[in-house]
């Protein structure tokens, strides 16, 4: 006979069909969870998640040129290669004599400048490339 657990000579890694029968008797019954295809049982109806459409902000060519020129001037005057987005936006808006850039225009301008590899934005910091 094979040694029992705790006895000398017992090998916990030894496998034989008796162990399989013991394992079957100690298994707990499994329950089936409700699949997504089953209708809800609490009387409510399932709804589809709403789809949100994100509209990319738009900036005109003239405003983009003004933003780009002012951005370059701010980086040059500050003598830095990176600024926080908040500080850069306020510096650009204060340096401009006209209508300030709103958040959408700023995002669009920085997006286009990122696409053309003129700036890089990471963690709300704008890096001049």
Whether the predicted pLDDT of 18 surpasses 90:
no
Q: Report pLDDT for 77.
A: 95
The mean pLDDT value for 74-98 works out to 93
Please tell me the distance from the alpha carbon of residue 71 to that of residue 66, in angstroms, as a whole number.
8
- pTM, two decimal places: 0.57
Residue 106: count of CB within 10 angstroms of its CB: 21
What's the order of all strands across the beta sheet hosting 125-128?
A: 82-84, 125-128, 119-122
Full residue range of the structural domain in which residue 98 is found: 61-128
Average pLDDT, the chain: 81
Q: What pLDDT does residue 40 have?
A: 56
- Greater confidence, 47 or 91? 91
Task: Look at 95 and 49; give whichever has higher pLDDT.
Answer: 95
Residue 90 sits in a domain of what CATH number?
1.10.10.10
Q: What is d(CA 80, CA 74) in angstroms, rounded to the nearest whole number?
A: 9
All residues at 6 or more sequence positions from 65 whose CB lies less than 8 Å from its CB, including other chains: none
Q: Please write the tens of the pLDDT for every residue from 58-82.
A: 999 999 999 999 999 999 999 999 9
Average pLDDT over residues 89-115: 93
Report the number of distinct structural domains present in the chain. 1
Does residue 121 sit within a domain?
Answer: yes
């Amino acid at each position: 006979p094979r040694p029992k657990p705790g006895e000398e000579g017992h090998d916990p890694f030894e496998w034989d069909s008796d162990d399989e029968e013991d394992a079957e008797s100690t298994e707990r019954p499994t329950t089936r969870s409700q699949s997504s295809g089953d209708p809800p049982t609490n009387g409510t109806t399932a709804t589809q998640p709403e789809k949100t459409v994100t509209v990319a902000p738009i900036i005109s060519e003239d405003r983009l040129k003004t933003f780009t020129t002012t951005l370059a001037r701010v980086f040059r005057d500050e003598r830095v290669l990176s600024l926080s987005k908040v500080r850069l936006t306020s510096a650009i808006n204060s340096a401009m004599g006209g209508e300030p850039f709103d958040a959408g225009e700023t995002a669009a301008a920085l997006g286009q400048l990122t696409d053309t590899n003129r700036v890089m934005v990471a963690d709300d910091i704008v890096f001049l490339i």
